[in-house]
Structure formats: C-alpha cells, structure tokens
Amino acid sequence: MKLLLVLLNNQDQILLCRNESGYFVPTNGAEVDENFGFDSPQEENRWFWENCGLFAYRRYICFSRGYCVAVFELYGEDSAGSGFIWTDSCSIDKYISDNFLTVLLKAVVKNYNCSKTVSWINKDGFQPYLNWALKTTGCDEQLSYGKIEQIKNTYVSTIFRFRAGGELFYLKIPCKTYLNDAVQIEKFLVNSTYGLPEITASYPGGNAFLAKAMEGHDLSVETDMVFLEQAVKKWADMQQRFTEEQDVFSSKISLLHDYTAKGIMKRIDKFPSEISGIFAYLDEQPNAVDEAKTGKMIREVKRLLSLLAECKVPGTLCHGDLRPGNIRVVNGFCFLYDWGMGMYGHPFYDVVHFLHVTRRQFTQEQQEKIKNTYLKQWEAFGTGKDIRRVYGTVERLKDFFMVLADADWLMETIEAVGGKVPEGSMDSWLLMRRVYYFRRVLDRFLAGDNN
C-alpha cells in the first residue's frame, strides 16, 4: 500500500496536492506492508522541504483498512506553493471522494494531539524538546531545515541530531511506557572500560535526554568475528558486575520485570488468565487460545524453570531484545539502547535471543563461536558441560520469555490507554504493533516451535 504523507499546520488543516485530475494526499511513492516497522523519517521530511518548501517532522504512523498514514507536524511558515492547498478537515469531503479515507483523515486531525502512551504527542509536539535542546547546548540559533535532523522515529521513541559548539548532540525522546534509557546508561557508566555516550542533560520530568559521543553505526552482521567475540566477552563481564551490585542496581531501576526462574514461578499459574484477559480486551472469542495446549506448554515451562532455579548462574541484567538494530558501535565499543524489554533474569537469554534473530545472517559455525565465547566467561559458575546444559534449558524457554515480555508490554500499554483507543491515533498504532508481536510469538510458543 502507499504511504500517505499527512501534514497538519497549526490550524489543524491538511495539506493536499492538486493536479489536472483533482486533489489527493501526498505520497513519496513508498510502498509498505501492514507488518512493516518504520525508522528514519529523513527522506519523508526532505520530500516536504524539496517539493513544498515546508519544514516538517514526522510524529507517528497509523494503519487503518488498507491505508498507511504518516503524520507530520509543521514548523514555521505554511505557504506551500501553487501545487498544494490547505483545507480544514470538515471540508475534506469536497476534495477526496474515498469515504473511508476522509473518515480516517478526520480521525487523524481529531486525535493528532492526543496520546496516553507517547510523550511527544501533545499540543506542542516536538517544539518544547527541541527548544530545550538548543538552549541547553548554548545554541541560540532558530530552528531551520537541516539544523536539527530527525534521524529515527518509531512507535517507541524519536531521535534528533544536531551540531552545537563543534560537537554532535543527540536528543532522544522515548514513549511513556518505555524504560528510560538515560537511567540505564548512567548505571553503565560505573564501568569506565565500556564505550558509552555521555549524558549531557535530562529533560525536566525525565522523559528525554541529550547525549554526545553516539557517532558510529549500528552493529552489522558482517562485523568481524574477532570484534563480536570481544563484544560478548564484555557483555558477560558487565552482567557479572551487576550480579555483584544487585541491591543497588534493582533499587535504581525499579521498572525492570523479574524474569528469574523463581520470579516467573510465582506468577506462571496466572499466566493463562492474563492471556485470556488480553484477548477479552481485544474482543476475541474466549476459545481464542486452546486451553489444553496452553496447559501442556505451561507444565513444560515449569519443568524447565525448576532446572534453571537449581543452577548456580545468578540472575542479572538482561537487555531483553538484543539484536543488531539495538546495538550501536561507538569508537570501537558497543552501546546498547532501546531497553523497553529490559529484565532482571537469566543472563544467557540475551545471547540466545541475539542468535535467534540473526540465525539467517550468521553461519552455524559463526553462531557456535559466539555462543562458546560467551559461555566460556561463565565457567566460574560450573563446568563447561554444566554451563552448556543450562544454556540449552534457556534456549528451550526462549519463546516463553518472548511471549511473557510481549504480554507484559501489551498489558502495560492497555493499562496506559485506559480503554478503547481512537482510530487514527498514535495509541492505536502502538497497540496494534504490540498485538502483532504478541500474537506472532504466542502462536509459535503454543505450537512448540522453537525455530
């Protein structure tokens, strides 16, 4: 489907293109599917500048009945040139004949400044954050195209980049249901051997921060194996350091879920009813989950958790979603970000998850090398044979950890929105994405498919 570029001005008017055939919502020709994720908005922001002379940032994306709408907010003047018109949402029917599209566009305008989950969806949008960032860095220049680049925009965070005083700064704004990355990074800074960005300042209220030293690139699966081996050694070292500081660590980051074997065993009997509660919220049929199949899988999970509870490897910090896209290589070091699924649990889960999501990129030999390098660092807690046996148990629990994390995040999102979400809102997109991931992993878990 086409990605529609819906731009709104300060009077809640929508920008339309016009040609000999009539009026239509702009599109830059991008084709997307319903399951796509979205990342850098720079091409779309540039499209508005080069084609309309308008300075815009993307706020969010929503899907509805075959339409994909990217919603943008305007900065500065709104004179778009002869090829475009601004129209009030109440008048959109005069220009567009597709009834459902007009309904969707009106819903977008109505809910443009409404979100219970995303901090930047409010009447002032990004403006307060951007003004704060410029002032904090001593940059008194006004906002202009190219001054501050929006380099990432997803359903969980948005990131801006700009230069001030000869240095490159990054402004990150996570959504409210997302773990504060700044807290995690400050905790990591206790280990000076780890290459991490410098937190320059936190936004009042704590839901955004400025950082330096984030130049570099996301981890590539084509990265040299020697570098990857060094990275997993350092991550094992970091996790072991956190086990030594458990009390201080858990008191500073109270939002982490307890996914240790003992922690899960305390709630596992309630898990089927939690799933039923989720489906009830989604208006699914009560038999949407096969009770017999669920019961069988839960019994197997209990057996495996009891094995984990007996092992000597301690619980510690886990990222929970370790993948190349969440690992930044900065000056030869790895910086982990996007901690929405951060957990206190079994350390091996991170490497199990990383090797799962990269299984089509790494050869079996490469995967074995990464795994063995990591596990070698834990042999103070058992023989090599014992450690590999524990790893195998964690590997068999992989899908359960994933479905548990997705269920918890989905339940937190449901609690945050506090009821049915309006169509065309950021909350509807966030909830839809969480439901998509939850269904996919739950189906795999119930099928007993660990691939």
Which residue do the tokens 């084509």 mark?
A: 222
Distance CA 92, CA 108 (A): 12
Tell me if 49 sits within 8 A of 42, measured CB to CB: no
Residue 160 token pair: 């801006």
Do residue 196 and residue 227 come from a single domain?
Answer: no
Domain around 206:
127-212
Tell me if 404 sits within 8 A of 259, measured CB to CB: yes
Do residue 356 and residue 382 come from a single domain?
Answer: yes
Do residue 391 and residue 430 come from a single domain?
Answer: yes
DSSP character string of 103-150: HHHHHHHHHTT--SS-TT-STTTTHHHHHHHHHHTT--PPP-TTTEEE
CATH code assigned at 239? 3.90.1200
Which stretches does DSSP call E strand in 288-440?
A: 316-318, 327-330, 333-336, 343-345
Do residue 54 and residue 134 come from a single domain?
Answer: no
Do residue 204 and residue 237 come from a single domain?
Answer: no
Distance CA 2, CA 69 (A): 9
Residue 193 confidence (pLDDT):
46
Distance CA 46, CA 444 (A): 40
Do residue 183 and residue 246 come from a single domain?
Answer: no
Which residue do the tokens 């450690």 mark?
A: 387
Residue 180 token pair: 């504060």
**pLDDT per position as a tens digit, 319-366:** 888 888 788 777 777 777 777 777 889 999 999 999 999 988 888 999
Do residue 186 and residue 237 come from a single domain?
Answer: no
**pLDDT per position as a tens digit, 261-295:** 999 999 998 888 888 888 887 776 554 566 777 78
Residue 140 confidence (pLDDT):
74
Do residue 87 and residue 138 come from a single domain?
Answer: no
Residue 48 token pair: 């508005």
Q: Which of 212, 247, 279 is the C-terminal boundary of a domain?
A: 212
